[in-house]
Amino acid sequence: MESHIVKILSVKQITHNVRQFTIEKPQGYSFVPGQATEVAVNKPGWENERRPFTFTSLNEWDHLEFTIKIYDDRNSVTHLLGQLQPGDSLIIHDVWGAIHYKGEGVFIAGGAGVTPFIAIFRALEQQGRLGSNKLIFSNKTAADIILKDEFTQMLGDRFINTLTKENVPGYDHHKIDEAYLKEKVSDFNQHFYICGPDPMVMQLKETLQRLSGNADLVTVEI
């Protein structure tokens, strides 16, 4: 199995609990937007503790980028990642498929589940193919919204935010369920891409397959 030890080049705080890691890109390493790899911290005792993370960079960039939610309430890989600084190193492995872009539609994300969509939207913007794609993004609070300014710049009013734990002017305050989808989506005969917590993904997958009448239109991260 392929593995590479790569140095962290920079670390940037994106939200109160999300960090963006810029790391070295091994020669010949390639992926498509939406794909992921398993990452481990290159420190004694942690080398085999792999966790899947999606690339938020584009393949043509000369570096790799991961945008990762840090959980400081547990002794975990992400807690350790939150301590790392430029010069520390990670171990990355084979690239594997997750969500692939199949055509225009509605992207639905919960929290850090938005990460596969970051590279997809960046690639579409670069290619002038953003079209009528829409992103519906659910978070607990406004402070949790990842890359809010970038998504707003790319999508404008097709970037829809709903908050489940607070009611703030300018944001919806609603769980993403069938009623909310019917309010925000006028045509269910289009592609739907879902990524987020497993219960949310499974519920919305079933709902959208029923509303669209076509399971092939609904793509989830497996």
The pLDDT mean for the chain works out to: 96
In DSSP terms, which residues pair with 107 in a beta bridge?
135, 193
Residues 61, 111: one domain? no
Q: How confident is the model at residue 73, as a pLDDT?
A: 72
- Can you say how many angstroms the Cα of residue 32 is from the centroid of all Cα atoms in its chain? 14
Cα–Cα distance between 103 and 113 in angstroms, integer? 19
184 φ, ψ (degrees, to nearest 5): -100, -20
148 φ, ψ (degrees, to nearest 5): -55, -45
Q: How confident is the model at residue 176, as a pLDDT?
A: 98
- Asked if residue 110 lies in contact with residue 204, where contact means CB atoms within 8 angstroms, the answer is no
- 152-187: pLDDT as tens digits: 999 999 999 999 999 999 999 999 999 999 999 999
Q: Which domain holds residue 137?
A: 105-220
- 2-52: pLDDT as tens digits: 899 999 999 999 999 999 999 999 999 999 999 999 999 999 999 999 999
165-174 long-range CB contacts below 8 Å, 24 or more apart? 165/140, 165/141, 166/140, 166/141, 166/142, 168/141, 168/142, 171/142
Q: How confident is the model at residue 72, as a pLDDT?
A: 83
Cα–Cα distance between 210 and 187 in angstroms, integer? 13
Residues 110, 206: one domain? yes
Q: How confident is the model at residue 101, as a pLDDT?
A: 96
- CATH number of the domain enclosing 148: 3.40.50.80
Residue 142: is its pLDDT beyond 80? Answer: yes
- 87-122: pLDDT as tens digits: 999 999 999 986 899 999 999 999 999 999 999 999
Q: How confident is the model at residue 117, as a pLDDT?
A: 97
Across residues 177-201, what is the average pLDDT? 97
Residues 142, 214: one domain? yes
Residues 145, 197: one domain? yes
Structure tokens belonging to residue 54: 């999606």
Across residues 212-219, what is the average pLDDT? 96
In DSSP terms, which residues pair with 90 in a beta bridge?
6, 41
- CATH number of the domain enclosing 14: 2.40.30.10
Residues 92, 121: one domain? no
Number of domains in the chain: 2
Q: How confident is the model at residue 61, as a pLDDT?
A: 98
CA distances from 43 to 18, 40, 118, 153 (A): 21, 9, 29, 38
Residue 143: is its pLDDT beyond 90? Answer: yes
Q: How confident is the model at residue 2, as a pLDDT?
A: 87
Q: Which is nearest to 80 in space by CA: 113, 57, 114, 50?
A: 50
Residue ending a domain, choose from 96, 127, 147 = 96
Residues 139, 61: one domain? no
Q: How confident is the model at residue 222, as a pLDDT?
A: 63
Cα–Cα distance between 101 and 193 in angstroms, integer? 8
Residue ending a domain, choose from 64, 96, 128 = 96
Residue 74: is its pLDDT beyond 90? Answer: no
Residue ending a domain, choose from 72, 96, 120 = 96
